[in-house]
A and B are shown apart, each in its own frame.
Chain A
Amino acid sequence: MYEGILQDLIDELGKLPGVGPKMAQRIAVHILQSDPETPKKLAELLLILQDRVNFCEMCGTVSEEAQCRICRDPRRDVSQICVVEESKDVIAIERSREFNGRYHVLGGSINPSQDIGPGQLRIKELITRLQDGAVQEVIIATDPDMEGEATSTYLARHLGPLGVTVSRIATGLQMGGDLEYADEVTIGRALSGRRIISQGGIS
């Protein structure tokens, strides 16, 4: 066990998600031995992070400006909104480059045991965004777990009556994966969500 400042730093780093005591020690010792510019730069960023980075007033994703890069981009399709739980989900979908619409970050999912109901999520803001009629389709991309499914059902019931198409992203098999290694729930979902690729008799 180290002492003084070094141990204090190890203890603080150890509180971060995914960082165990050994990892914290490695990071702290690495910082101690590195070129003085490294900790200085890191410290500056840490200090200004919470002041400078905010949330986009439109979609709710992290942004330094009032509106995020995606909401400001006039080339993005305004007729589609993809609803996700967290900002990191926006990054994941953006990486695919398959989606050219805009996003809406809920800030979580309906989770009664953590006391998160629809009121704590950015659902009112989403409904406001649908008022002008420009949005044709809302794609719900919450996580395929119990809470994500419940949130998706809730949204479908509340957005449907507004006259917009509501869709849910498909769940199923991983690309490049082996069918035999998939678990039964995934295979079941993949079967029930199958799509027809050839109608008998039509060529």
Chain B
Amino acid sequence: MYVSGLSLLRFRSYDYVNIKLVPGINVFIGTNGQGKTNLVEALNYCASFSSHRVSSDQPLVKQDEINAAVQVVVEQESRTITLDVEITPGKANKAKQNGSPLPKARELLGILLSVTFAPEDLMLVKGDPSERRKFMDDSITQLIPSYAGVRADFEKCLKQRNALLKSAYGKTNADVMHTLDVWDVQLAKTGAAVMYHRLKLVENMQGLVSDAYKNVSDDQHPLEISYVSNLEIPEGELSIALIESTMLQALAAKRNSELDRGVTLVGPHRDELQLMLRNLPVRGYASHGESWSCALALKLSLYELLKRSSRGGDPVLILDDVFAELDEIRRRKLVDLVKNNEQTIVTAAVAQDVPVELEGALFNVVDGTVTKVE
């Protein structure tokens, strides 16, 4: 698939911009703060409803404005699909497909597939476990769009249960305990679905990640990924029902310490995607270069998974200011990937940062205006 048109309205630094993109390579050049990343961030948002830079929607809307809108025209083989997303922080997004409003914005997910490589990817390896949980969740959302609902249900449930635990502090009467029982049931139901999907993702990614790591790093040691949970799931065929019943038991066992601390201690919100090299955790032990290789390996394996499951062609690759960060070997590997991909969008501060092989349509970004270099 490729994106043929991108329009932004009141998004980040832009009042309005409309760009025509081409299949193959599109390069956006502009010095820092001119608005290159805002363009690819908007594109990314239409693919995952999340930004690779911030976790809330507020910064996406231009200052002093109430809402922002993004329109993306996606070309899939012989079909053209226009996606519209209206972002209003604090409210549910609104979405349209080919001009018709969708009852739920998240029905838009899964049409545009994209994988972004950006300097922020290093946080996938060096950052908190929450970064890696977000990576897993965003990846699953692109692979299985209905997961967006599963994730939203769990987060809502967790918020309610934490509110209850906080208000229950110091007054553990029967009424509070009974209400907690009820939320345990909901948490186990929604949490088990989240965990099941994440376990399946990690299972599908394991081989791909270790191949990708060998490829980008020339390191003979394999990168191993595993899903580490606070829940000990018994051996046997993995199913949502099995996780659910295990979680219910764990919740009952942790009830007292949860009441003491006022937060939910059991559930996928405390799990971790563990990365191991030479039997040591990558976070804290790996060098800067190794960390970059791990980050690239995770993203490359996501690309591979999306490509395999896609029914509308290759995912759109976005390389956001990433070449300046990489050494020669890792640059080469990315260039190899780009060469065979249907569409790639590259941003860079100066043209010299972009490897010579990546020749394509060139755009200059200066102070919020985008002009195509003919």
| Residues from chain B with Cβ under 8 Å of A157 in the complex | 178, 181-182
| Residues from chain A with Cβ under 8 Å of B186 in the complex | 146, 149-150, 153
B157 touching A154, Cβ below 8 Å = no
Chain A nearest CB from B311 CB (Å) reads: 16
SS of B interface (majority): helix
Say yes or no: is A111 at the interface (Cβ < 8 Å to chain B).
Answer: yes
| Residues from chain A with Cβ under 8 Å of B160 in the complex | 111-113, 146-147, 150
Q: Interface stretch among B75-83, B161-169, B216-224?
A: B161-169
Say yes or no: is A183 at the interface (Cβ < 8 Å to chain B).
Answer: yes
Specify the chain A residue showing the minimal Cβ separation from B145: A184
- B164 partner, pick from A112, A149, A185, beta carbons under 8 A: A112
Say yes or no: is B134 at the interface (Cβ < 8 Å to chain A).
Answer: no
A117 touching B182, Cβ below 8 Å = no
| Residues from chain A with Cβ under 8 Å of B374 in the complex | none
Say yes or no: is B263 at the interface (Cβ < 8 Å to chain A).
Answer: no
Give Cα A61–Cα B320 distance, bound, in whole angstroms. 58
Q: What per-residue 1/0 map shows which CB atoms of B85-122 lie under 8 Å from chain A?
A: 00000000000000000011001000000000000000
Chain A nearest CB from B100 CB (Å) reads: 11
Give Cα A150–Cα B186 distance, bound, in whole angstroms. 7
Say yes or no: is B146 at the interface (Cβ < 8 Å to chain A).
Answer: yes
A117 touching B146, Cβ below 8 Å = no
Specify the chain B residue showing the minimal Cβ separation from A147: B160
Specify the chain A residue showing the minimal Cβ separation from B165: A112
Chain A nearest CB from B239 CB (Å) reads: 14
Q: What per-residue 1/0 map shows which CB atoms of A134-154 lie under 8 Å from chain B?
A: 000000000000110111011
A118 touching B178, Cβ below 8 Å = yes
Say yes or no: is B357 at the interface (Cβ < 8 Å to chain A).
Answer: no
| Residues from chain A with Cβ under 8 Å of B183 in the complex | 112, 150
Interface residues on B, range: 20 to 34
Say yes or no: is B308 at the interface (Cβ < 8 Å to chain A).
Answer: no
| Residues of chain A from 136 to 187 with CB closer than 8 A to chain B in the complex | 146-147, 149-151, 153-154, 157-158, 181, 183-185
| Residues from chain B with Cβ under 8 Å of A150 in the complex | 160, 182-183, 185-186
Chain B nearest CB from A145 CB (Å) reads: 9
Say yes or no: is A119 at the interface (Cβ < 8 Å to chain B).
Answer: yes
Give Cα A110–Cα B175 distance, bound, in whole angstroms. 12
A112 touching B163, Cβ below 8 Å = yes
| Residues from chain B with Cβ under 8 Å of A119 in the complex | 175
- A154 partner, pick from B104, B107, B149, B178, beta carbons under 8 A: B178
Chain B nearest CB from A74 CB (Å) reads: 36
| Residues from chain B with Cβ under 8 Å of A146 in the complex | 153, 156-157, 160, 186
Say yes or no: is B371 at the interface (Cβ < 8 Å to chain A).
Answer: no
| Residues from chain B with Cβ under 8 Å of A154 in the complex | 178-179, 181-182
Q: What per-residue 1/0 map shows which CB atoms of B308-329 lie under 8 Å from chain A?
A: 0000000000000000000000
Specify the chain B residue showing the minimal Cβ separation from A188: B146
Say yes or no: is B159 at the interface (Cβ < 8 Å to chain A).
Answer: yes
B146 touching A185, Cβ below 8 Å = yes
Say yes or no: is B176 at the interface (Cβ < 8 Å to chain A).
Answer: yes
B107 touching A183, Cβ below 8 Å = yes
Specify the chain A residue showing the minimal Cβ separation from B173: A119
Say yes or no: is A115 at the interface (Cβ < 8 Å to chain B).
Answer: yes
B149 touching A184, Cβ below 8 Å = yes
Q: What per-residue 1/0 map shows which CB atoms of B222-261 lie under 8 Å from chain A?
A: 0000000000000000000000000000000000000000
B179 touching A185, Cβ below 8 Å = no
| Residues of chain B from 180 to 229 with CB closer than 8 A to chain A in the complex | 181-183, 185-186
| Residues from chain B with Cβ under 8 Å of A183 in the complex | 103-104, 107, 146, 149
B159 touching A113, Cβ below 8 Å = yes
Chain A nearest CB from B137 CB (Å) reads: 17
A113 touching B178, Cβ below 8 Å = no
| Residues from chain B with Cβ under 8 Å of A112 in the complex | 160-161, 163-164, 167, 179, 183
Q: Which of B103, B159, B181, B182 has the most CB of A within 10 A?
A: B182
The answer to whether residues A153 and B182 also contact, given A113-B163, A117-B175, A147-B160 and a CB cut-off of 8 A, is: yes
Give Cα A181–Cα B97 distance, bound, in whole angstroms. 13
| Residues from chain B with Cβ under 8 Å of A113 in the complex | 159-160, 163
| Residues from chain A with Cβ under 8 Å of B176 in the complex | 117
Give Cα A118–Cα B182 distance, bound, in whole angstroms. 11
B149 touching A185, Cβ below 8 Å = yes
Interface residues of B (CB under 8 A from A): 103-104, 107, 146, 149, 153, 156-157, 159-161, 163-164, 167, 175-176, 178-179, 181-183, 185-186
Q: Can you sample 13 A-B contacts with CB below 8 Å?
A: A112-B160, A112-B179, A112-B183, A113-B159, A113-B163, A115-B163, A146-B160, A150-B160, A150-B186, A157-B178, A183-B103, A183-B107, A184-B149
Inter-chain pairs besides A150-B186, A154-B178, 13 sampled, C-beta below 8 Å: A110-B179, A112-B164, A115-B163, A117-B176, A118-B179, A146-B157, A147-B160, A151-B182, A153-B182, A153-B185, A181-B103, A184-B146, A184-B149
User: Across chains A and B, which 3 residue pairs bring their CB atoms closest together, nearest first?
Assistant: A112-B164, A184-B146, A113-B163
